[in-house]
Each structure stands twice: as structure tokens, then as C-alpha cells.
Structure 1
Amino acid sequence: MSQYILAIDQGTTGTTALLIDRDLQVRGKTTVDFPQHYPQPGWVEHDPEEIWFSVIQAIRRVLGQSGIGGTEIAAIGITNQRETTLLWERDSGRPAHNAIVWQCRRSAEICRELKERGLEPLFREKTGLVLDPYFSGTKLAWMLRRFPELRRQADSGRLAFGTVDSFLAWRLSGGACHLTDVSNASRTLLMNLHTLAWDEELLGILDIPPRLLPEIRPSADIHGHTRGLDVLPDGIPIAGIAGDQQSALFGQLCFETGEAKCTYGTGAFLLENTGNRPVVSRNGLLTTVAWQIGEEARYALEGSAFIAGAAVQWLRDGLGLIQNAAEIEPLAASVPDSAGLVFVPALTGLGAPHWKSEVRGVIHGITRGTTSAHLARATLEGIALQIHDLVRAMSEDLGHPLRHLKVDGGAAGNNLLMQLQADLLETPVIRPALLDTTALGAAFLAGLAVGFWPDPEALKQSRQEERPFLPTMPESMRTELLTRWNRVIQGL
């Protein structure tokens, strides 16, 4: 009898494979890193074959580590870095170009052209998104503009487009599946948020042939089956797909309207469940599909900070300030405050609610008394302050304050960061025992699709232990932090 769900969490810097049982106990977990490529400043790419290798290695290792055989897997769930854009050959499955990563800013000129033509309100109304290089549609348009051979192949139907979930479903099924789920499709600038279908008008504006596109499917569904893999037997259902942030919202069991989570990874992503209708933001946030189960779609408001954990990586790799990411907490905690230092970690531009793609990181207030500890603390404050801006914008859009914030992702393991977040938000921050809620969400969706769990309520019965962080910062200190931050942000 199949007793386990395999979740594949394909992220920006690595792939995690997670095996869980019916009681939500983790039976195996492993992560395989892979490189990013930077052809020029502001450009970020992945080699799709390196992505695929990391997926296969992660699966092989987690099965070996756990002693669980492939025949014991009931279903596979996929979650993925969302806006990263791939093209591959339908006949061979070979990549036609390196994947253009969500962080990449190369399509800024296309976004600028569309704005000058007055098209941003149309895209906003139909997709819930803004015209920013972040999203897949303009990345794909850039590839087709830049390389005439890709354009010819696309027009003739020889290429397939997809976000990472589509590419993995294709490879896992031996080329039988060319599909995506609604949550990933909602991040492309190409799907109509109201019809949950590709929008012909938007495709025409971006000059993208419809035959390139995958089929849009519900998040929890049997999409296909494994075929032709060395690491897994044929016939395992590929049954759950969701973009990483929507998957984390589901993994945090935020099933009710008004529940919110923030994932602290390379970037930080705040989502709040808004129920069965899309809510239009007046404050620079995005409207997105959270998930679809059966005929019912749920929506969310989202705010994204492009840089969160990546700022800590920069202190480690760029400045050599720390040897590993975990060292930032004791270093930052060694001083009572940042001594007036403000770090805006806009290393690849400012995301919501500001949307200033041209802005870069700023360190303000350096004096002769500034130390590495002050910079470490200012880095954690900068991450938390970005989320404060998102929560404030979201509360204004929805007309009610946040009751509490569920958190996950690698950087959520930093106790000082989580305490700073609770202090700045003046609301409880709740951290689960298991931070891999992105992978859990994909596992939950896959398990529901194949009847591994009868319904979402069954998942709540096995809720993991949680730790709350409660606000303790004096109001005067909080006000001072926010005043300094806002002064620097307004000057950018």
C-alpha cells in the first residue's frame, strides 16, 4: 500500500525533496543546491538541465536516506519558483534557452514600452499584476524578440513555454504533460484572473503565440503519471501543483478568508487569503490566485520583497562579514540597536508596495562608530521593515488589521528577525515547528487529489506545534525605527 507523499520544492537556489506520511510526519528530507548564472548586471539565469539534475538527485537522496521505495509513494506534489521562464523543444525536451529567473530585470524596457502605451491599467484589471520585469510574460516576449530562431520555432509549434512546474511535469511524465496550475498561470501576465484562462488580447499585445502555452489546470488534480525515470517507477500520479508562495499559504493551513502568512526565503512574500473573489489593491499589492480545488478557486492579495534572505547571503558572500547565515543572529544581537543605521536591501529593485525597479540597495547613516554588528542588525531590521510596509498596505486594502502572521521559510528560523517582525507589526508572529511549509502545501494538494487525506479539515487535526512571538518593543523605539526607514525610502 502506498503510504507516503513526495513533495518536490524547486526553489531559486536549490531543490528540496520531502517525504511525509498520513500523520504529517516527515520521513525524509534533502536539499540539493544548484548555481545561478549572471550574464550581466541585473540579469539572472538558470540552466534548466541543472535544475532537472538537482530534482533527480534530491529524489534519489531522499529515497535512499529514508529507505522508502518508489512503489510506496502515493502521489507527487510540485511547488516551484514561480515567474522563472523556460522554453524547451517539444520533440527532444531540450532547453531552447537558459531559464530567465524571476529576479531578472532584462525585460524592463518592454515593461516601459507597455506603460508608455497606456496599457498598465488593462494588464492590472485582467491579471491583478503590475507591469514589472518580475513576471513571466515580458521575459518570454524578450526571448522571442531577441532571438529570431526562437521566434520561428515558436510560431511553428516546435517549442513549449512554461514556468518551472510545467518543465518538471513534462520531464517527470516523459513529455506526456504540458500543463500548469492556476496559481502559476496567474503569475505570467498572460492569464485572465476572472476567467482563469489565457487571455487572447494580452497574448496579442506581447506577440506570444498561444500554441506555446501549457494547459491551465486546478492545483489539486491528477495531472499525469511518472514515466521513463531511473529514480521512480512508472505510474505515480503527479497530483498537486502550486507556485511556492501559494503552496506555503496552503501548507500553513490558511484556508479561511483573512488568514495570512509570510515566507522568508531568498525574497519575502506576504499572502492573505481573500476568499472566492479577487480583491483589487489600491496600494501597490498584487491580486493572485491562491489555489483551485475542483471548481472552486481561492484568491489572495500578495506583497513581495525581492530581497530577504539574499541580503544575509550578500553579507556572507559579498562582504565576508559572516561565515554562514546562522552567524548573523548572534552578531546582530550583540548590540541593542543599529545605532541609526538603515539598510534598504533593494539589491534587485524595490518590490511592492513601492515598485521601483531602478532602485538599488542603500546603507544610510554610517558613522565612525558603525560596526559589523550594527550592519547585521540593520539587515534584519531592513527585512522586517519591508514586511511592515506590505502588511500596512494590505490592511488598508482589506479594511481590517492583521490578526496574526504565520511565518515560514529558512530565515524564519532567526529568532531575532521574528521578534523584530512582531515588534514592528504590533501583532503576534506564529512560527510552526516545521518551516518547510512550501513543500508541505504541495504534498497536501497532491494527497487531497488522490484521496490520501479525505478533506482539508483532516490536515488541521495534525497541526504541528507552533511558537508565537509577541510584541515587546517600546513604542518610542518602534516609532524611531519607522521614521528613519520612511525618510530613507521616500528619498529613493
Structure 2
Amino acid sequence: MSRQNNLPGLQDLQMSTMKNPSPLANSGTGSGQNSGYTTPGGFPPVFETSPQVSPANSRRPSISGISAPVPRRLSEVASGRPSFSQQYSQQSQSQPQPPPMQHHVSYFSGGGGNPPPTAGGGGGSGPPSGPGSAYGGGASLSRRGSTASFMSSGPRPIQRADYSGPNTPSLLSRAGSPTLPLGNEHTQAPRSFFEGAGGFSALDSNRELRQGQFIGSLDCGTTSTRFIVFDKRAKIIAEHQTEFEQILPHAGWHEHDPEALVDAMTECINKAVEKLEWMGWSRKSVKGIGITNQRETTVCWSRTTGKPLCNAIVWDDSRTLGVVREYEKKLEEEGLDIDDEEEDLKGVPENVEIGTGGEDAAFGEKGDVVVEKEDGTQELEPESTKAKQDGLVEKVGEKLENLGLAENQSQPNGNQSEHKPKTQVNGDDKTPQQVHKKRKGKEGIVDVTGIPLSTYFSAIKLRWMLDHNRDVHEAHENDDLMFGTVDTWLVYALTGREQGGLHIMDVTNASRTLLISLKTLQWHPPLLRFFGIKPSVLPKIVSSSEIYGTISELCETSLTTVPIAGIVGDQQAALVGNKCLRKGEAKCTFGTGAFVLFNTGEECVRSNYGLISTVAFQAGPDAKPVYALEGSIAVAGSAIKWLRDQINLIEESSDMDILAGSVADTGGVYFVTAFSGLLAPYWDREASGTIIGLTSYTTSAHIARATLEAVCFQTRAVLDVIEKESETKLETLKVDGGVTNSDLAMQLQANIGGFNVARPAMRESTALGSALLAANALKLFGWDLNKPETLADVNTAGVHIFEPELPEKDRLKALKGWEKAVNRARKWHEEGDEEEEEERYEEERGLSRLPSRDH
């Protein structure tokens, strides 16, 4: 099947100017010294230092409700009752005040020093006041309230953290401890972000800045960008975060303006360095930076101008469903050519390595390898025939039905048996000369890439751009097109764009494109031919840890000439940041959904249950790649948001821990949170959300507890599969994400999983991962990712180990009840008839071809 390109009909991606501001973005804030919570000394501390982000950050999703509740007492403002902070302020006015402080409370660490300049640049020794002031106290304390921020233009929404007052238990913070709202879903635990870095007075502005050794991390997520400066123990020294626009032109479409990503990056670096210098540290203390990013999001720009040709298509954009179905059909009918011939691949950039076809499987083949003869006949390779005769290519129940994955015995390292005489499939028994060798069926592409055809992955998005955007199509034809993921685009911008900018992509991001072989870790010619993509558009694939280049003077940042030394996709970064560097170690990021990554070492393991095989990291150009199995759970914290917003079972997400903890168990209730079907290991699109086991005894507390348990049961199910396929027993699960601030949820995970759960106090795991990789390349702090023992002192403060407390007998009984509930929820929605399915398919294809930008 060949692709038809109708050039006159090509339309452009829409460069939408629509804005999506929070409805509370302009809500008022209090001002003045005594508005809001104040210290006994009379100076209101700063509870916010950087713009907050909207829900769902990268492929490490967040939850607007679970990851950033305003604590329960704060919600009293909405009902007209005085808030805790107002009560405290009133009480403090009527009580004797201590003598005036000699120095103002430090903006960052509680040490001596004056506050930094306000957004308007004002200085002075006294605490500023008024709207926009860093010390202007008082926020709009509704569930989605706003507050003023240092270095921001005015009020904007708080969606990730706020202050939890004394004796106010919060799902996202320890009871009785203020939580600085600098984190995202990877960190909400209270901590001093800027320990040991007290500010200095404006009178000391001529003081010589100190030299130190820090490593920076740029984290570009789905809704916001942040830049964090770490020290050698992974303490955060300075940070800045900002949102960028989400462009949603049509239902299912999600775009980013690539220039907005660059602007956000520049702002975050400059503001974080400004804070660093205010604390007395020279910007030269930042010895290098690492970059981590939302994966799969696809960017196209001009080689000549260095400017984007259209908006980026974000990882969760679903407009490409028609493209996926088209190529699934192409795989079935034509197959994936895996010959070694490369004569049709012209225009390969000088520094880009292109692999070969041939024996390209990263692990044992599960798809049929077909040999096409010059007389038009086809035959199966003997391995495929033998597998069919042995019955090893049969589906494994219903679990593999949707992905079309088949179970087979894999051969380590992709080693193939020597070819034996072929088995004739059609034609006569003579053996004509071989012409082509192909993989057929959806399984074949998974054999090579480790990932299935899906709307998520970059090659599908790039193909859509080529078919629908005139500028992209013409640039491709004229060898002027440059393609990349977000890491590629940001590095290109940091290093000078068209004036010598680097065009590179790290191996973890490349493994999510559908264009490389996991065996060779190079661009794969058969895949390029299959998708119709010219090699001239491709970046150079690099390791996750090496000195790629330095920040150009053309990029308006305050870190000119600083080395860029680490690049890694966000979920892999979280794996590294949690120090899961050895085979058998795993992490789970609990956000809107949950992402489990399991380190399989140097062996690339093929899953029989639809888990993704991916590159975890490569700690240097000469280091061997480390692989991982990845499983996703669609609904985690979003189930709590559902209880709050749709069912009104709780008023605030912070109420969840209190309500669920008020009962000892669920009273026999199970909640299968299959709002849009079930992912691994069940793979049932027809499953329905189900609450079962209800009796007259059931209360809202039982349902709340069953909601938390649902996340834990599904995590356990994914890890069960991973343990079987990797033949490795998990001892400790390392965690990050907004949900992890719930002690109850983490204890339930330990009980249901039967393993320890390790939760550090500092949960900026994604940013820390890229920082570790950068420092590894720079040989900074003695960190060596190939020697995990060198990281023994990294992020060890406040690690909480949750140990299983449930007897094994009770745990197995609970798991049995969960599986029974899942079976009741499965296949609830019946498949439509073929005519209805075809009608829906045509409707989706039509939507995908809507014009998206006036040309």
C-alpha cells in the first residue's frame, strides 16, 4: 500500500493564539504586613517563589486535585468563615509581641538577611508590601486560589502546593509542617529548599560573590518548565518554574508553540541564576546543566532559518489515530522490509549514524518473518513456522487481544538461529532466488523498536505533519527540514540555532520515536522507508551523559559557555533520580496516572503483556545501554480528583487521607477505576469503572479507602508481570509524585505489594536524574553512574521506608478479591458492529485532516 500525497490539499498546523488562562488568574491577593499568616516576629514568610503549573506535567502526569490541594482549613474562606491564617493573625495582634528582629527572616532558608527585590525591582531593608510583593501576605485561599509571587507579574493560580497549618493533615504534606510550593508532582514534602544559603543585605550589594560547585537541571514538562540548581547532596539551592500556553485547537488536539518552550527555558534559567546570585553565589558556580523533557512531543523547524515551521504536536495528541490504522494495515499487507540494502537512503547527514536491516530484532521474534521470492511467492522463516507448529504463537487469553502481541520463547540479545531450508507457503516446492525479507503484522514492529504503533510516538506525528502541513512537506522535499523531540529543539536553541546549533537526540528519547532499533540504537533504514522519512531530517543519536557542547552567547541566558552534559526523557530521568541504577530496581511515579519503570540491566526484555521495552539510560558514549520495562496505569490520582469534582465525596483532595484513614479496611468494597478501560497487564478497552461489594454497612470512608487501594492493586499487577518476565524479585519500590505524600497510600502500597516502599523527602526525581547524568559526564562530585556506590550520599535525607504490615494470607485474599472485581468490570462495553466501527474510523480520519493554520 502506498501513501497518496495530494499537495494542493495539504493544510498547515494551526498556530493558534487561543489562551487558556486560569479563571482565577486575576483573583485578588491580600497586601500588607499583617494580611495572611505571619511569624511571631511580624514578618510574613514567603510561601511561593515561582509561578506554579497547571495539571499534568509531561509523561509524568500530575493531578490538579491530588498533587496540589489547598488544605482543608484554607477552604473555609470560600464559606465565609475566617481562615486559619486570619485567625492566627488576629490572635497575634492581641498577644504581646517579641522584640523586633535584628535581621529580617531569610527569604530562602530562615537565616539572616533581607528579602530579595520585588517584581518591580524595589530594594531596601524593610519588608515590601502591597500587591505583587514577595512579602505581601495573604492569598486567595479557595480550592484553586491565587497568590502573588516574587519575580512574577502578579497573581496567578496555585495548583500544586500551599501551606498546611498546624494539626491540619494533608494528603500532600506532613501534618503541622509548612510546604513550600516549589515542587511539582515529584515533590511536595516539606523541606528547606535553600539550606545553608542565607541571603545578604542590600547594604552588602557590593559583596564579592562566592564560588561553589553546583549542577543545574532544566526540566521541560507538558505544562511548565523549571530550572533547579542542586548541590553535591542533591539539596536544592535555587529554582524557578513557569507555565507556558497549552494550545487546544480541536477535540483531541494538543499543541505547543516551540518558541514558547524556549522563552520558558530562558526565563527559568535567568530567574534561578538571579536567585542564586542574590544568595551570594556566583553564576560560575553552576558547572553544567542536564536536560529532561516530555517524551514523544514532536517539533519541526527550518534548517535555513532555525525557526519552527508549525506548532509541536504533544505526546497525548490523538489526531493521528487515522495514521496509525493506515500503517497497521500497511504492516499486514506489505510488511516491514528488513533487507540490508541501503542504496535508497540518500542525504544522510555527515555525523548521523544509520544502522542496517537484516537481523534487526532486539529480542526473540514474535512477528512472522516472510521471505518474498522473485516469482511473487512468499514463505515463512523456519523460526516462525516452528513456532506455529509448536503452538507458541497463539494469543495468551484476552490480555494480548488488543495489542496483537503473541507469546513466544525469546532468545537473549536478539541472537537468531542459523537459517534452515525454508517452508513453502504458496507456490511450488522449488526454491527461487530470495528477493526481499519482511516482517508482517503489528508484532513485527515491536520486535524491532520495543513499542507498538500508537498515536503517542514521534514517527506517527511526523508523518502527519508531512501529510498535512505544506511548509513541513516542502522543507522535507528540499532537505531543509530538521526534526526532533523537545530535548533536540531546546539543545538546538541553546547552542545557536542556525548558526551552529547542535542537532542531537539522546538515546532514551530516540527509543520513543518508532525509528530506531533497540538492538543497534541507530536510526533503522527499514523503518525510515516504511514511514517515508528522509535521513536528512534526523538528529544525531547521542548517549544520555556526555559533554555535547556549551550554551551559546546567541541564546539570551545567564549561563553562557556552561556545558550541556546530560539529556534524558522524563520517566527515565525519574528512574535515574531515584537511583534505580542496578538490574531489578524499580520506581513508580504516582501522578494523574502512574508510571512504573523496572531496570532490566543490559538485557532488552520483550514483554508478552504489552509492557513497553525502552532504553533507561546510557551513562556515556562508551558505556553499555541500560534497558527498562515500562508499564502505565491510566488512573491514579485522577480517581481522587473524580471523587472530589464529580461525586463530591470530599471537599478537598487533602480530605482523602483523613476520610480513608478513618476506617480500618474497605468493608469488602473494591473500586476498579477503569474510566477509559484498563492498561497493562489487562489491556481491556471495554472495561468499565466499577464499585463492587457495596452493602448497607458501606460508608464514604470505605469508598475513599477503596480508591487508594485501586491504585496499589494495579501497581502490584504491573510489577507481578515485570517480575515474571524479568525473572527478578522486587524488594523495594522507590516512589515519587504527588500521591506519595499520603502516608496511608504508601503503606497500602507496601501491604498490597508485599515489598518495601522507599519515599525520599526531596522528590524532584526527574530533575535530579538529568543532573546526575550531567555531573557524571563532567566528573563532578565524584558521581559515577556506572558505580552506584558513589551516589550513596545523594538525596538520603528523610527517606521513609514503608514496610509491609499485612500478613501474607490476608494479602493473597485481598489480591484474589481484586482480580474477581476486575473480571466483573471487564468487557462491559460491547464492541460496535463493523459498520459502526468503520463509520467512527472515517469520522476520526476526517477530523485528523482539518486545517490547523491559515496559510
Aligned to 1:467: 800
Mapping of residues 52-91 of structure 1, within 5 Å: 52-67=262-277, 68-91=281-304
Matched, 1:263 2:589: yes
Deviation at 1:367, TM superposition (A): 7.2
Deviates most, 169-178 or 46-55: 46-55
What is the number of residues matched between the two proteins?
490
CA drift of 1:402 comes to 1.7
Q: Secondary structure at the match of 1:462?
A: coil
Q: Confirm whether residue 385 of structure 1 aligns to residue 713 of structure 2.
A: yes
For 1:144 and 1:379, the matched residues in 2 are separated by 43
Q: Tell whether 2:324 aligns with 1:111.
A: yes
SS at match of 1:184: helix
**Alpha-carbon distance change, 421 to 321 in structure 1, aligned in 2, over 3 angstroms:** same
- Residue 20 of structure 1 deviates from its aligned partner by 0.8
SS at match of 1:293: coil
Go from structure 1 to structure 2 and tell me whether the alpha carbon gap of 1:155 and 1:69 turns closer, same or farther (over 3 Å shift). Answer: farther
Which AA in structure 2 matches 1:106? R
1:437 alignment partner, one of 759, 765, 778: 765
- Say if 1:332 and 1:373, in contact at 8 Å, map to a contact too: yes
Q: Deviations over 1:422-481 (max 9, x none)?
A: 222121111122111111110010011111133233222335132112223443444323
Greater mean deviation of Cα atoms: 378-387 or 220-229: 378-387
**1:43-78 CA-partner distances (Å, limit 9, x unpaired):** 333333333333223223322333344322100100
CA pair 314-136 structure 1, distance change in 2 beyond 3 A: farther
Q: Residue 142 of structure 1: SS of its match in structure 2?
A: helix
In structure 2, the partner of 1:33 is 243
Kept in 2: contact 1:423–1:478 (CA 8 A): no
Q: 1:147 aligns with which of 454, 461, 469?
A: 469
Question: Which residue in the other structure is 1:50 paired with?
Answer: 260
Give me the whole-angstrom Cα distance separating, in 2, the residues matched to 1:327 and 1:99. Answer: 38
More strand by share: 1
Cα distance in 1 for residues equivalent to 2:644 and 2:464? 33
Q: Secondary structure at the match of 1:190?
A: coil
Pair 1:23 & 2:224 matched = no
> Which position in structure 1 is the counterpart of 2:217?
7
Asked if the contact 2:631/2:680 (under 8 Å) is kept, the reply is yes
Q: Which runs of 5+ in 1 are unaligned?
A: none
Q: Does 1:305 align with 2:633?
A: yes
Q: Scaled by the length of structure 1, what TM-score is found?
A: 0.90
Q: 2-side partners of 1:96 and 1:245: how far apart?
A: 28
Distance 1:361 1:487, change over 3 A: closer
- Matched residue type, 1:464: T
1:362 maps onto 2:689 in alignment: yes
- Tell me, in whole angstroms, the C-alpha distance in 1 between the residues paired with 2:465 and 2:650: 38
- Give, in whole Å, the separation in 1 of the partners of 2:658 and 2:245: 28
Aligned equivalents of 1:241, 1:209: Cα separation in 2: 25
- CA–CA separation in structure 1 for the residues paired with 2:282 and 2:506: 28
Instruction: Describe the superposition over 1:144-174 as per-residue Cα deviations: whole angstroms up to 9, x where unpaired.
Output: 1222432122222323211111111111112
Distance 1:212 1:313 in 2: 42
Residue number in structure 2 paired with 1:422 = 750
Hey, what's the Cα distance between the residues in 1 that align with 2:818 and 2:532?
46
The one of 180, 183, 191 aligned to 2:505: 180
Distance 1:92 1:371 in 2: 63
Corresponding letter in the other structure for 2:240: T
DSSP-derived class of the 1:192 partner: coil
- Relative to structure 1, is the Cα distance of residues 151 and 235 closer, same or farther in structure 2, using a 3 angstrom cutoff? same
Kept in 2: contact 1:340–1:365 (CA 8 A) = yes
- Structure-to-structure mapping, 1:345-360, within 5 angstroms: 345-347=674-676, 350-355=678-683
Map 1:79-228 to 2 at 5 A. 79-116=292-329, 117-118=331-332, 119-175=441-497, 176-227=501-552, 228=554
Deviation at 1:311, TM superposition (A): 4.4
Match of 2:559 in 1: 233
SS in structure 2 of the partner of residue 278 of structure 1: coil
Q: 2-side partners of 1:289 and 1:158: how far apart? A: 30
Distance 1:308 1:188 in 2: 26
Q: Deviations over 1:357-395 (max 9, x none)?
A: x56873544979887656654443333333222112111
CA distance in 1, matches of 2:462, 2:474: 14
Q: Structure 1 residues 375 and 62, CA, compared in 2 at 3 Å: closer, same or farther? A: farther
CA deviations over 1:16-65 (Å, ceiling 9, x no partner): 22111123222123332334333333333333333333322322332233
Secondary structure of 2:290's counterpart equals strand
Q: Is the 8 A contact 2:235 2:795 kept in 1?
A: no
Cα distance between partner residues in 2 of 1:385 and 1:350: 13
Task: Give the structure-2-normalised TM-score.
Answer: 0.54
- Report the more deviating stretch, 416-425 or 310-319: 310-319
* Mapped partners of 2:692, 2:241: distance in 1: 39
User: Which has the higher mean CA deviation after the structures are superposed, 424-433 or 82-91?
Assistant: 82-91
The RMSD of aligned alpha carbons is: 2.8
DSSP 3-state at the match of 1:197: coil
Structure-1 separation of matches of 2:634 and 2:460: 18
Larger Rg: 2
Which residue pairs with 1:484 in the alignment?
821
SS in 2 for 1:280: coil
Could you tell me how far apart the structure 2 residues matched to 1:317 and 1:91 are?
49
1:244 to partner: Cα distance: 0.9
Give the AA of the match of 1:488.
A
- Answer yes or no: is the 8 Å Cα contact 2:548–2:564 preserved in 1: yes
The structure with the largest helix share of the pair is: 1
Alignment match, 2:389: none
1:134 shift after superposition: 1.9
Structure 2 letter corresponding to 1:449: A
Q: Does the C-alpha gap of structure 1 residues 411 and 322 become closer, same or farther in structure 2, counting only changes over 3 Å? A: same
Q: Distance in 2 between matches of 1:288 and 1:342?
A: 31
| Residue 449 in structure 1 maps to residue 777 in structure 2 | yes
Structure 2 Cα separation of the partners of residues 41 and 381 of structure 1: 32
CA distance in 1, matches of 2:717, 2:565: 36
AA in 1 matched with 2:669: G
In 2: Cα distance, 1:416 partner to 1:43 partner: 37
Aligned ranges for residues 402-421 of structure 1 at < 5 Å?
402-421=730-749
Aligned to 1:275: 601
